[in-house]
Amino acid sequence: MIAITAKALLTPLERIEQPIVLVEGKSVIKVATRTETEIPPGAKHFDYSECVLAPGLVDIHIHGSAGHDVMQSDEQGLRRMEEFLAKRGITSYYPTTVAAPLDATLRSLEWMANSIESSQSNTGRAQALGIHLEGPFLSHIRRGVHLPENLLQPSVDTFDKFWQSASGHVRVMTIAPELTGAVELIGEANKRGVCVSIGHSDADLATARAVIASGARHATHTFNAMRPLDHRAPGILGEVLSNPSVTADVIADGIHVHPTVVRFLLEAKGEEGAVLITDAISAAGMPDGPYQLGGMDVEVKDGRVTRGGSLAGSVLTLDRAVRNVMEFAGWDLRKAVRIASLNPASVSDAQQKGKIQAGADADILALSENGEVRATVVRGQMIEN
């Protein structure tokens, strides 16, 4: 058993002063205050008296980090990436595809699925919980850097091929709702427990409303690769920003979305409906230079990832995004942590993640009051920075 004490704890729905968290194996078994519970005899004690405890962060949209691209079959690269993420407070993540040739996508999904199934034995590393399928069901008009020859019309048959190669581990799917066949596919994905996220889309308001009514419930990197908001034709963004039943994620690096617009989104969605993501590529944590994104050549310079002049992912980490939200929107640490932990876990139906309570997985951070990671616990294993 280990006992963790600190100045405060963010559940993240509330702040508890002078907490003690007891961990047995990979799970939290008790959360209390120091006045309520003493450190059990024989427990290994970790004290972070100047820090705040918070849930491990959950990134539901990430293409790579530390030199590794998640579509590559590279066990050493994967280990390096997961160790890097854990050091930055990201304890869970969803490897995210890009639109690629069908055979290459199927091979990548099989590799990702095998990695997910073997991750239970990994220690000291972030844990892949499922797969985010970004593409190929995207709008040609709003495709970003996804290659046009790799985009496909929504099809249950094609999706089933992905599902089978992924051994059922697809948990999030981004789709442009205006494409022919989208409504049918959204219905099928919902039946299989997949969170359908609308994005890379030129949809109008009526179309967005219709697919949300049919089961879509999230929005991918809001504002990016979407029809712009117009005061007379609000389009997809009008529905995403105004519908409280829709959660929306954002890349809060100050590059993809201006800090003022990040603040606007956070005010519109609130701490219940906003989600932070990174959309990070293999260059995260690495120096400037050429990198790969799902087989595409990209360039990183001064924190910007581009391909042919267009943004192509980021080098953001989720802990940095938390601190950026505190700066951009004036949010406190609790609210900023919530939208990077509990909210993404809820979107992806990871019920044991994103919170500190009895029965939850022991994914815990020790943070400074300004959000700097001092230590990470991943499924009960302590990693001190």
Q: 45-61: string of b/e by CB count within 10 Å (b at 16+)?
A: ebebeebbbbbbbbbbb
Maximum alpha-carbon separation in the chain = 66
- Identify whether 47 is a catalytic site residue: no
With residue 327 as reference, give the H or E element that holds it: helix 318-329
Q: How big is the CA angle at 356 (ends 354 and 359), to the nearest 5 degrees?
A: 100
How far is residue 181's CA from residue 202's CA, in Å, rounded to a whole number? 15
Q: How far is CA 295 from CA 71, 107, 254, in A?
A: 8, 13, 26
**Residue 352 CB partners (closer than 8 Å, separation 6+):** 359, 360, 361
CA 227 and chain centroid, separation: 23
**Residue 288 CB partners (closer than 8 Å, separation 6+):** 300, 301, 302
Closest by CA position to 135, among listed 344, 303, 296 = 296
Neighbours of 117 (CB within 10 A): 12
Q: 197-222: string of b/e by CB count within 10 Å (b at 16+)?
A: bbbbbbbbbebbbbbbeebbbbbbbb
Q: Which of 202, 204, 279, 363 is catalytic?
A: 279
Q: How far is CA 244 from CA 212, 249, 265, 267, in A?
A: 11, 13, 12, 12
Catalytic residues: 279
